[in-house]
Amino acid sequence: MGKDSSLHSFLFELGVEELPDNVILPASDYLKLSFEKMLSAEKLSVGKIKSGSTPRRLSIWADGLPVKQEDVQITKYGPSVSIAYDAKGNLSQAGKGFLKKSGAKSEDIYIDKTGGKEVLAVSFVQPGKYTIDLVRDWIIQVIGQIPLPKKMIWKDPSFAFSRPVRWLVALWDDDVISMDYHGIIADRISYGNRYLGLDNHREIQNAHSYEKDLEEIGVIVCREKRKRMIIDQCAELFANSPYQIKEDQRLLETVCNLVERPHAVVGEFDARLLEIPEKIITSTISQNQKYFSVYDSEDRLVNKFVFISNGDPVYSDKIREGNEKVVAARLKDAAWFFEEDCRRSLEEYLPLLEDVVFQSSLGTMAQKTERIVHLAGYIANELGLSAQQTQNALRAAKLCKADLVTLMLGEKEFTKLQGYIGMQYALKGGEDPEVAQAIWEHYMPRGSKDILPQTVSGAICAIADKLDTVVGIISVGLMPTGSADPFALRRAASGIVQIIADRAWELDLVALIKTSLSLLQKSIEPKPDSLDKILSFITQRVSWLLKEVGISYDVAAAVMCTGVNNLPDLIGRARALQNFKAKDDFIRLVLGFKRVANIIAGSESFAKLDKSLFEEEAERDLHVRLIQLAESLDRSLSERDYEAALQDLTMIAPTIDTFFDQVLVNCEDKDKRLNRYALLARIREEFFRVADLSQIVVESDINGE
């Protein structure tokens, strides 16, 4: 160790071959979190912790570390004296076992009498471990624990990592931490940017000089600093021009993980290639090449792009030429695909869908398309659309999958543009603009933050396509699990309920599911419990939707008892109940209903209500109020005035309280008891027409009263 001082610094760098960009940030975050947990577990204080990452390294460094743990006074109690010693006064097996287990020495033993019983005890000072030893052990353990999706075996079976490990830097102050990790000896030598040469290395003095030392060999190890450099350089490129880079946070994060010292360079491609649809160009530039697209002041794509070089800035011109050649070649290929595809109408591609398997048990994409068309027709009919609107929806449903067999998508270069390619070809072929847009929109929403379809035809096709997938996949027994959802059924089901709710379409969701299932039954035999599983799965997504629109979990559970058939109605009911919770008499209403629900919870069937068996005035009053409640709810619910319906329920609350105060429900007379159960069951039925208020959490539930 180096000179002794009260506080110390530590540095660890793991040098590797280039890591995939998508694993770097999770790995770096894990490394820092693991280090923090180790310090906490070992009760070690620390000053500042920093982490760094580039394609070739993961690192962490800290200062303010103590030389060792605090010493700890240990007191442990063992067996009673009567069994701790033998007849000769020597430690028995029990006594020796306690001594060994406690980690103490024989001279640490004493007899403790504080508990009224003589027991063997030990008290000793446990010296704190040296921090350098603790961090060494942590390094050896953490390397293999870093979360990487794919690992390979290197050198020996116990050494698995995503890429070959090339070097280790481990420093305690100015000194190297002695360590051998599967034959890789820790040192102070780190390697710099490859453009400076494969043997471009630097001896790191300590954690405090680490960032500066690496910067001198072409490495910006702080990820946030690299990202800021990229942003600033891109802004500077077009500071005095009408051009700008469209913000793309995901691409920025990716590019930041691809370079060690960023240098932004502008490239160009032939302006004639701008005739290709915009997303094909931006997909080529951004998704395939990881470059930034450039737009003019009127938000029009121009024939420029910006790439972030990791090479020597001196040779930027040559690097630019190479990148321009790659972009030009890719765009020319795309232009050729586009031109060739457009020689035929989109409808002419439909027969080729018969050769594309959707799912082995569910047939081809042609069969799926046929089901989508049937479902689209059913939805259009249920919505009462005009003949023209129905025609557009059916046409979009028929063509929505045709682009999957075009050259543009068939070559696997632009698979993320499915739907968009179809829209472009539909427009080229003279289809109605809404039909074309619906082909693009039927994949929406593609994720939690994606927009919903803007056209009626797009919304109908999106529901039909997603529902066919959900119903089909579950029907063949491929229900998603907690950790696996390979067909993205949760996303599809969420999309269905989002679209219906957004458009306030009063589609009978259960009937729609049954219609989809009946279409499948023409070609397959669904699993016996398919309908129940599908309904349960969709219901979960409806519950999710309610929470997404701001409904509390207990209110969501309360209204779900009315079914998920009509989503706009369900949401309106939930919002009314959520607002009603703030009223003063709401808790009284809930508590009253819970008494009703609880007392008959164990009964599955009820006798016919007989007014002649009423004995108490309170039960007669309750029956009268029940009849009045049913009539008032008929009016309120027919008008979907849920605020009024809840107010109707509130009016009967005092009568329920009086009933329970004056009537013994569980009386000895069986007929009277069952009749009172029947009366309460009728009340519960009326409440259930609005919501199951027993699901509402009130303060008494929380306090357990």
Predicted confidence (pLDDT) per residue in 327-375, tens digit = 999 999 999 999 999 999 999 999 999 999 999 999 999 999 999 999 9
Strand partners, 168: 14
> Is residue 640 packed enough to be buried (19+ CB in 10 Å), middle (13-18) or exposed (0-12)?
middle
Q: Between 187 and 84, name the one with better pLDDT.
A: 187
Kindly report, residue by residue over 531-583, the tens digit of the pLDDT.
999 999 999 999 999 999 999 999 999 999 888 999 999 999 999 999 998 88
Residue type at position 596: V
Task: Return the pLDDT at 226.
Answer: 96
Q: Are the beta carbons of 302 and 247 closer than 8 angstroms?
A: no
Question: What would the DSSP string read from start to end of 131-191?
Answer: HHHHHHHHHHHHHHHS--SS-EE-SSTT-EESS-EEEEEEEETTEEPP-EETTEE-BSEEE
Provide the token pair at 438.
């619906």
State the DSSP H helix or E strand holding residue 9, giving kind and residue range, or none if neither: strand 7-16
Provide the token pair at 108.
């640490």
- Alpha-carbon distance of 585 to 142, in angstroms, equals 58
Q: What angle do CA 642, 647, 649 make, to 5 degrees?
A: 95
pLDDT averaged over the chain?
A: 92
- Alpha-carbon distance of 29 to 614, in angstroms, equals 70
- Alpha-carbon distance of 595 to 614, in angstroms, equals 20
Task: pLDDT band for 247, please (50, 70, 90 cuts).
Answer: confident
Farthest CA pair distance, the chain: 107
Kindly report, residue by residue over 48-58, the tens digit of the pLDDT.
999 999 999 99
Task: Please provide the distance, in angstroms rounded to a whole number, between the alpha carbons at the two ends of the chain.
Answer: 62
Q: What is the mean pLDDT of residues 133-152?
A: 92
Q: Are the beta carbons of 672 and 613 closer than 8 angstroms?
A: yes
The pTM assigned to this predicted structure is 0.80
Task: pLDDT band for 157, please (50, 70, 90 cuts).
Answer: confident
Q: What is the mean pLDDT of residues 36-41?
A: 96
Is the pLDDT confidence value at 701 over 80? no
Per-residue DSSP letter, 608: P
